[in-house]
Amino acid sequence: MATEQFAGPVDYLVFAVDEHADLGAGLSAVLERVDQGIIEILDVELVSRHESGAPLKRVFSDLDGVSGLDLSIFDGVESGVLDEEDLGGIAAELRPGQVAIVIVYEDRSLAVAAEAWAAVGGVELFSGGVDVHDLEQVLEEREQS
């Protein structure tokens, strides 16, 4: 994760898909970004919903029909960053037959720039994400004025 000089914003992405969907292309895209140093994965979880509605953690080897990828690379990658409340919120949004892939990651896309600024005495003040809905609202308000 982060260097002493820079920590990128930490974000998450949760996608619900049919439990038989081919997740290979998406997972491969994530791994490519890791290999390129664009992101660092802090946690990857696969979550479904028990008949009772309770969250159920799954293992990637449970998936069938994933093409182009050896799922064993994801064995043991869960870090436990997500707590029961997080998992419960995700499970509540799932329909029967769906599974959610959850990725918690550090955005490292500007790490090289940040390290260069730190090398000349710069200090990181803030970093973080912008809510897309908030951004959309501001842009709409600007268009109307």
pLDDT in the model for residue 3 = 55
Residue type, 96: P
Q: Which helix (H) or strand (E) holds 101?
A: strand 98-107
Per cent of the chain over pLDDT 90 is 43
Question: Cα-flanking dihedrals φ and ψ of residue 25, to 5°?
Answer: -65, -40
Residue appearing with tokens 């998406």? 26
Question: What would the pLDDT profile of 98-126 be if each residue is shown by its tens digit?
Answer: 999 999 999 988 888 888 998 999 888 87
Note the pTM of the prediction, 2 decimals: 0.81
Q: How confident is the model at residue 38 (pLDDT cuts 50, 70, 90)?
A: very high
Residues 131 and 139: their CA atoms lie apart, in Å, by 13
Q: 70 pLDDT exceeds 90?
A: no
Q: How confident is the model at residue 56 (pLDDT cuts 50, 70, 90)?
A: very high
Q: Which helix (H) or strand (E) holds 58?
A: strand 55-58
Residue type, 108: R
Question: What would the pLDDT profile of 71-88 be if each residue is shown by its tens digit?
Answer: 878 877 778 889 999 999
By the 10 Å C-beta count (0-12 exposed, 13-18 middle, 19+ buried), 36 is classed as: exposed
Q: Regarding predicted confidence, which is higher, 62 or 47?
A: 47
pLDDT in the model for residue 127 = 76
Contact 9, 128 (CB under 8 A): yes
Q: How confident is the model at residue 5 (pLDDT cuts 50, 70, 90)?
A: low
Question: What is the maximum alpha-carbon separation in the chain?
Answer: 57
